[in-house]
Structure 1
Amino acid sequence: MKIKDLGELSGDVMLFGGPYSNMQATTAVLNATAARGIAATNVICTGDVVAYCARPARTVALVRDAGITVVAGNCERQLAAGAMDCGCGFEDGTACDLLSAGWYAHVDNEIGAEDRYWMAGLPDVVVFTHFGRRIAVIHGGVTDIARFIWSVSPDAVFAEEVAALQELVGKVDMVVAGHSGIVFSRDVAGVRWVNAGVIGMPAHDGKQDTCFAVLSDHGVDIVSLQYGADAAFADMQQVGLRQGYDRALMTGYWPSEDVLPPELRLPDFANG
């Protein structure tokens, strides 16, 4: 486990996940940091810089040039290792498994050796202190980088992850995670657990806008991110990524609900 301690951060802190090779969303979120006067030292990405969308190399370049802190996602770890899949652990033959083969192959073809070296050096856990609170940022889970943790996950799941995390870094007051793609906040296992959401793909809610989180002295605010979804969709069409995630940028609904717990799945008509 690689752990990076940022020390004490003052002022607002921006947290976001999943740029997902979406160049337009990445540009928009970096513009939002500038508009809010948030320095790069106070911006943290929860990982999966590359995934579903069309411009992985350009997205990595934007993130690296911005000088922000990035936690390793499973996509970064898999690419750095030269693995043949995204490492999400989808069951063989499921829609998510079949869909991932297309976009991962595109990412694997586009990302070069130097970017893979950068990915290999990314931390698994970032910790910092902010207005008296000690905060840890991870990707999915500590026990499994690609663990899907949802707002409806059992208390025992959170307790296991918090215990594993505090074994590594000591006591924390808040955990900020990503990976699952749907924002939530929950007080559980003695901490505030926040999923900051992702910027590169809608949250299966019928909206094109994505979101990021801003941590201030009074708590966490979730902020809507508007970006050029039409252009991101066109990019996916251009490179042949037409398996369903392209349409998700426009409709706001994922092409599959395989990964979601039953409580978070939508009525059949929503996916039409």
Structure 2
Amino acid sequence: MDKKINDIGELSGKILVFGGVYSNLQALQSLQELAEDLDISPENCICTGDIVGYCSQPEETIQFFRSWGAQTIAGNVEIQLANDEEDCGCDFREGSRCDDFSKEWYPFAKMMLSKESVNRMKNIPEHIQFRYAGKKVFVVHGSFFNTSEFIFKSTSWDKKQQNFDHTKSDIILAGHCGLPFSDSKNEKLWINPGVIGMPANDGSNKTWYAILDDSSSNLVEFQQLEYDHVKANELMLKNNLPAAYAATLKTGIWDNMEILPAEEASRQGELIRF
């Protein structure tokens, strides 16, 4: 089956890139306010997927995202919900803590979402492509070949190069792994802006996003987002969602590191600097 790829033409000016809203309405509201303050239009705001996830307001988050008018691709969560699947499709190891927690938050999200919101997910493209600063940019969730593939900075360049070769792109914007990073080689640039819905295991309750700027010598700048994490935490606990994930919103530390390669796991609690 052909993939749904939305070609949005040529973009210019600042572009706000973010991933993993994870049903965290408070984080999304803060990000939208920031975009307005920076005069970045909704068309130049791009999400790498997983608008729905661990937190407590999936329907409200979807509705707010729609009203904002930002662009998005489908994360594994949206794909699973659109297909009426019984799990999040996150590629967690069966029986792992992540897998166990998903059996709590995913049914909650599925129950809380309106039929209209789920139906709209069926029309979300799997990828977005566009031209920017003389480069071809391609947006993936995990990778082009597997929406749920975890690709980190420490992941071999060969695996990243395969994505560039197949998409014939110069820049790839990706999501899914939850950690912000950039990696470059052979005049290709892989950017993961991080996620706004959960901290990056760095000991900070702030989350991450990135801004592309074609007028700057540094094409990408990673920044942290402040939002009402206390309210988001309280709402998760009120709705009996995983307490360990709720705690992460405050501590910035992941409950477990099952998905992380050794290099990334060794940096738990270290503030991320670019």
Indicate the TM-score class for this superposition, using the shorter chain for normalisation: over 0.9
Distance (whole Å) between structure 1 residues aligned to residue 63 and residue 176 of structure 2: 21
Instruction: Tell me the equivalent position of 1:60.
Output: 62
CA 188–267 in structure 1, closer or farther in 2 if over 3 Å, else same:
closer
Shift of 1:142: 0.9
SS at 1:129's partner residue?
strand
**Residues 9-28 of structure 1: pairs in structure 2 closer than 5 A:** 9-28=11-30
1:250 lines up with 2:250 in the alignment: yes
Give the alignment's TM-score, normalised by structure 1.
Answer: 0.94
CA contact (8 A) 2:164 2:170 kept: no
Amino acid in structure 1 at the alignment position of 2:91: G
CA RMSD across the alignment: 1.5
**61-70 or 126-135: which moved more?**
126-135
1:75 lines up with 2:83 in the alignment: no
1:220 lines up with 2:217 in the alignment: no
CA contact (8 A) 2:201 2:269 kept: no
CA contact (8 A) 1:158 1:189 kept: no
Shift of 1:138: 1.1
Select which of 157, 181, 205 maps to 1:155.
Answer: 157
CA 40–263 in structure 1, closer or farther in 2 if over 3 Å, else same:
same
Amino acid in structure 2 at the alignment position of 1:173: D
Instruction: Tell me the equivalent position of 1:182.
Output: 179
Shift of 1:71: 0.6
Give the alignment's TM-score, normalised by structure 2.
Answer: 0.93
Q: Unaligned stretches of 5+ in structure 1?
A: none
Select which of 180, 196, 199 maps to 2:196.
Answer: 199
Amino acid in structure 2 at the alignment position of 1:150: F
Identical pairs, percent: 36
CA 240–123 in structure 1, closer or farther in 2 if over 3 Å, else same:
same
CA contact (8 A) 1:213 1:222 kept: yes
CA contact (8 A) 1:26 1:199 kept: yes
Select which of 25, 31, 39 maps to 1:37.
Answer: 39
Instruction: Tell me the equivalent position of 2:6.
Output: 4
Instruction: Tell me the equivalent position of 1:142.
Output: 144
Instruction: Tell me the equivalent position of 2:52.
Output: 50
Shift of 1:190: 4.7
Distance (whole Å) between structure 2 residues aligned to residue 154 and residue 221 of structure 1: 23
Instruction: Tell me the equivalent position of 1:260.
Output: 260
Instruction: Tell me the equivalent position of 2:98.
Output: 96
Q: Deviations over 1:180-239 (max 9, x none)?
A: 010000013651000011000000000000011111113001111000000000110110
CA contact (8 A) 1:12 1:216 kept: yes
Instruction: Tell me the equivalent position of 1:120.
Output: 122
Shift of 1:269: 9.0
